[in-house]
Amino acid sequence: MTRPRPEIPPSGGKASLVRGIFARIAGRYDLLNSLLSLGLHQPWRRRAAAHLGLHQGSRVVDLCCGTGDLTAVLAHQVGPENVVGVDFVPEMLERARLRHPELRFVEGDALATGLPGESFDGASVAFALRNVEDVEALFREMARLIRPEGRVVSLELTRPSGLLGCLHGLVLRWLVPLVGRLFSGQGGAYRYLARSIAEFISVEEVADIMHQAGLEDIRIVPLNGGIVTLHLGRKPAHG
């Protein structure tokens, strides 16, 4: 059963809400990422990239690439000319291009990139499932973009269970908006981001959606007690 998500605007409104938030926080996004994850976000990205099974010369697309951190990790594996990052917020892409001038970043909607189908060996998305209007459409686009037997990975902030879950709930409710306000002056934006984690569908529901989007061999890999989760999948072979 779908849980009600009162704070998330109805269809059509979410994309513009998300665009506005990331346009406002782009300048402080990387600093806040490092502070709020205690520096763990980079090892998480490396774990995500490793699961794509890429090598020098593989082609890979990083959807909702933001300021390009995961795109850069992927470029290290495949070579800078073989990776493309896609995001729909120009302010985030501007920072990505400043930080990684050697990489290719394209402004576009991750749900309909317009890039040619079956032109990549792998596709990734990090910390963005909660932000897209339609999670299944995102995975469908990833599946369309990769070749048969190509792999997809999603890295996402999730809710741990048990005692860690209680502590995590308090951090989301109080600490994230406070740190967001102090370091970026955007407490409201960070309240939204914290709420989007608390209210997002379960990791099992994400796996079901990947399946519906046409992917197979789906695996759920929790990291650091479930604070973040990798979802892995593969496009079926032809026939």
Residues interacting with ligand SAM, by CB under 6 A? 15, 18, 22, 64-66, 69-70, 87-89, 92, 109-111, 126-128, 131-132
Of all residues in the shown chain, the one whose CB is closest to ligand SAM is 66
Q: Which is nearer to ligand SAM, 108 or 214 (CB)?
A: 108
Assign 84 to helix, strand or coil. strand
Which residue's entry shows tokens 């409201």?
188
Assign 110 to helix, strand or coil. coil
Q: Which is nearer to ligand SAM, 87 or 121 (CB)?
A: 87
User: Tell me, what DSSP letter sits at residue 112?
Assistant: B
Which stretch of DSSP H or E encloses residue 234?
strand 228-234
Closest approach of ligand SAM to the CB of residue 27, in Å: 13
Which stretch of DSSP H or E encloses residue 105?
strand 104-107
Closest approach of ligand SAM to the CB of residue 162, in Å: 26
Closest approach of ligand SAM to the CB of residue 160, in Å: 19
Q: Which is nearer to ligand SAM, 22 or 200 (CB)?
A: 22
Cβ burial of 106 (10 Å; 0-12, 13-18, 19+) is: middle
**Cα 171–chain centre separation:** 21
Q: Which is nearer to ligand SAM, 132 or 146 (CB)?
A: 132
